[in-house]
Chains A and B, each alone.
Chain A
Amino acid sequence: MKKLTLLTIFAALLMISSAAVAQTTASGTLTVTATVNGTISLVFNSDPSGVALSGTGTNAATLAFGTVQAFGGALTAGVTRVAGATSFTVSSPVDVFVDKANVASANYTLKAQLNAADAVNTWSVGGVPVTNAAAATITATGAYTSNVPETVALTIPFSTASGTNISNAINFTATAN
Chain B
Amino acid sequence: MLKTYISIMRNATLAATLLWGGSALAQTTATGVINGTLINKDGISLIFNTDPAGVNLGAAGTSAASANFGAVSAFGPLSGGVTRPSVTAANFTVRTIFDVQVVQGGLTSTTYTLTANLAAAAPTGLSYKVDAVTLTTVAQTVQTNATYNVNVPHNLDLTVLRAAPGAGGPAVGTLITTTINFTATAN
A residues sitting closer than 8 Å to B (CB atoms) are: 23-41, 99-104, 145
Contacts and interface: CB of A to CB of B under 8 A. Distances in A.
A39 B78 CA distance: 12
B174 A35 contact: yes
B73 A27 contact: no
Interface of B: 42-48, 58, 62-76, 87, 89, 92, 94, 98, 100, 102, 104, 107, 109, 119, 125-126, 128, 156, 158, 160, 162-167, 169-186
Nearest to B163: A102
B55 to A, nearest CB: 10
A32 B175 CA distance: 10
Contacts of B167: 104
B186 A25 contact: yes
A33 B67 contact: yes
14 contacts: A29-B181, A31-B64, A31-B67, A32-B68, A32-B128, A32-B158, A32-B177, A34-B70, A35-B70, A36-B71, A37-B72, A100-B162, A102-B160, A104-B167
A36 B73 contact: yes
Contacts of B64: 28-29, 31
Nearest to A23: B185
B71 A26 contact: no
Given A30-B48, A30-B65, A39 B76 contact: yes
A39 B87 CA distance: 12
Given A23-B185, A24-B42, A38-B164, A30 B179 contact: yes
A34 B72 CA distance: 7
Contacts, number: 157
A32 B186 contact: no
Contact of A25 (B58, B69, B183): B183
B63 to A, nearest CB: 4
Nearest to B154: A30
Contact of B165 (A25, A30, A102): A102
Which 7 residue pairs spanning A and B have beta carbons closest together? A101-B74, A28-B63, A34-B69, A41-B75, A101-B162, A104-B164, A39-B73
B72 A27 contact: no
A136 B89 CA distance: 30
A26 B177 contact: no
Nearest to B170: A36
Nearest to A145: B89
Contacts of A41: 74-75
A30 B98 contact: yes
Contacts of B69: 32-35
B129 to A, nearest CB: 11
A103 B109 contact: no
Given A23-B185, A24-B109, A26-B63, A33 B74 contact: no
A28 to B, nearest CB: 4
B87 to A, nearest CB: 8
B43 A31 contact: no
A31 B177 contact: yes
Contacts of A101: 73-75, 87, 92, 162
Contacts of B128: 32
